Structure 1
């Protein structure tokens, strides 16, 4: 799967985050409540160390409430981490961030006048909208597509809190292949970066298994098909996503599915669970271990050489001959 995943401006932004992190007292990481794991930047986790972190599960109004609670419990097992749910339609809840930041930083030296907080998040996670709510004014540009914020800025929230706003940043290497599909399905990656149909098929496969009743009702189906292709074909007929001659337009129905998913029209949907992620992490660990083992085997084969039985026999005879010659030379020197 080809993907322009880590543009140059993101490399620059990640470098700036690393350089500024020592200056702040607390990190606020905004996640998408529908994909808390896939929207969590592993590069941030590497450089954060023990610095206090508030993980904000934004867009919780679009996520499955039960799974959001499961994710909060899971995330708070991490050291120095607290969580909070927010949504753009509930600014009062978002305002709690200020009180939580003050509470976490209560032990800060009283001689220091202000608390410095850094806010990070992947593209299109709702970070800029959240900043505008906290500041009570428009200080961050918002948009319906990824990577609107391009450079770092500082925002005075008042009441002794300075906020370091950073551009939406992805990471150089994606380890989990499922995460890229989840990110693309929910709009964190531009549509031009991936094959639209591939993402639509991935989303359909997950949704008919995890939310069968929702999909049956939303697409007005008498019976839910068991495969993503059959579902998309059936949904295309109820939505009029057809070409000449009544043929199914798979690209069009994938577009409909993803547009409605991103707009929240399918209801409260979460695309991953802690249990799923634990399994995927184990699979990645096994794949990494296999890759290392295969590399070692290739090195050993290269060292031994690609030998047929007769070549191996001749090599052994040459080795024996050299060893015998070496013994004779040692004997002669004596």
Structure 2
């Protein structure tokens, strides 16, 4: 990651616009504070990606919050599979072209698994970069050209060296930006279930056909495992599979539209 950061700095003089991609579900946890060094003196667009997986009310609040940040030229809620969102992003990039260049060079940066490569594929109109819902898919930098006259520099996801708050790491494990093997899977799944039952109980109940009212987190896991038939030989409940199911369902948006980081302006 240090090498990737050094390579980005070497190419900054070529860049017109920096597109900072963050996950709309965790706008705080998925934002690398070190990226500020790349956005200084550059046109800066924040892309709240995977907005289709996030709580729409919270997303609008986060959009307004980031629009007040000094040095930010535009903030967009983005779904890489929505053609209207793609068109709006292209228009926004070209709008910030004071020197009236015929071609603009854009740097896409962010932490692992926030969807940078999916965004690039959407802008290009066909698959040019490898994508996957796991960290570390993009291995090196590459320049790619779009039909709209943009040159995009795709970069590997870069994390900062140390999380001051362990909660940041847990939230990133929930969305798949760091390997969940770094933590005990049962622990991070338990933390996720505790959050979901407190903030989005109706989504948990609908997804697993259970009730959460009056139940502790272990009791909710019991109900989930029974509902989904997650049993070991002998009839004991398979908690490991229940944890894997919960983490996978959340990461892939199957539980519903959820935002973990609550906007401080809310």
**Shared fold by TM > 0.5?**
yes
Q: CA-to-partner distance for each residue in 1:249-285, whole Å, 9 max, x for gaps?
A: 2211111111111221111111111239x9xxxxxxx
Structure 1 length-normalised TM: 0.74
Separation in 2, partners of 1:157, 1:89: 16
Counterparts in 2 of 1:295-334, with a 5 A limit? none
CA contact (8 A) 2:130 2:138 kept: yes
Q: Give the secondary structure class of the aligned counterpart of 1:168.
A: coil
Q: Relative to structure 2, which stretch is displaced further, 48-57 or 239-248?
A: 239-248
Q: Does 2:70 match 1:79?
A: yes
Q: Of the candidates 88, 91, 96, which is equivalent to residue 83 of structure 2?
A: 91
CA contact (8 A) 1:29 1:120 kept: yes
Aligned equivalent of 2:150:
161
Higher RCO, Cα 8 Å, sep 6+? 2
Q: Relative to structure 2, which stretch is displaced further, 34-43 or 47-56?
A: 47-56
Structure 2 length-normalised TM: 0.91
The count of corresponding residues between Structure 1 and Structure 2 is 265
Q: Does 2:58 match 1:63?
A: no
Q: Of the candidates 195, 207, 211, which is equivalent to residue 200 of structure 2?
A: 211
Aligned equivalent of 1:176:
165
Q: Does 2:44 match 1:44?
A: no
Aligned equivalent of 1:229:
218
What root-mean-square deviation, in Å, do the aligned CA atoms of Structure 1 and Structure 2 show? Answer: 2.0
Cα drift, residue 222 of structure 1:
3.6
CA contact (8 A) 1:30 1:119 kept: yes
Counterparts in 2 of 1:17-36, with a 5 A limit? 17-36=8-27
Q: CA-to-partner distance for each residue in 1:212-241, whole Å, 9 max, x for gaps?
A: 111122222244344322221222222222
Q: Does 2:92 match 1:100?
A: yes
Q: Give the secondary structure class of the aligned counterpart of 1:268.
A: coil
Aligned equivalent of 2:231:
242
Cα drift, residue 193 of structure 1:
3.1
Separation in 1, partners of 2:64, 2:8: 27
Cα drift, residue 158 of structure 1:
4.3
Q: Which runs of 5+ in 1 are unaligned?
A: 1-9, 279-334
CA contact (8 A) 1:225 1:231 kept: no
Aligned equivalent of 1:116:
105
Q: Which runs of 5+ in 2 are unaligned?
A: none
Q: Relative to structure 2, which stretch is displaced further, 181-190 or 85-94?
A: 85-94
Cα drift, residue 208 of structure 1:
0.3
CA contact (8 A) 1:121 1:168 kept: yes
Separation in 2, partners of 1:203, 1:225: 18
Q: CA-to-partner distance for each residue in 1:61-80, whole Å, 9 max, x for gaps?
A: 11110011011011111112
Normalized per residue, which structure has more helix? 1
Aligned equivalent of 1:134:
123
Counterparts in 2 of 1:246-325, with a 5 A limit? 246-275=235-264
Separation in 2, partners of 1:121, 1:226: 38
Cα drift, residue 170 of structure 1:
1.4
CA contact (8 A) 1:224 1:231 kept: no
Separation in 1, partners of 2:213, 2:236: 20
Separation in 2, partners of 1:275, 1:233: 34
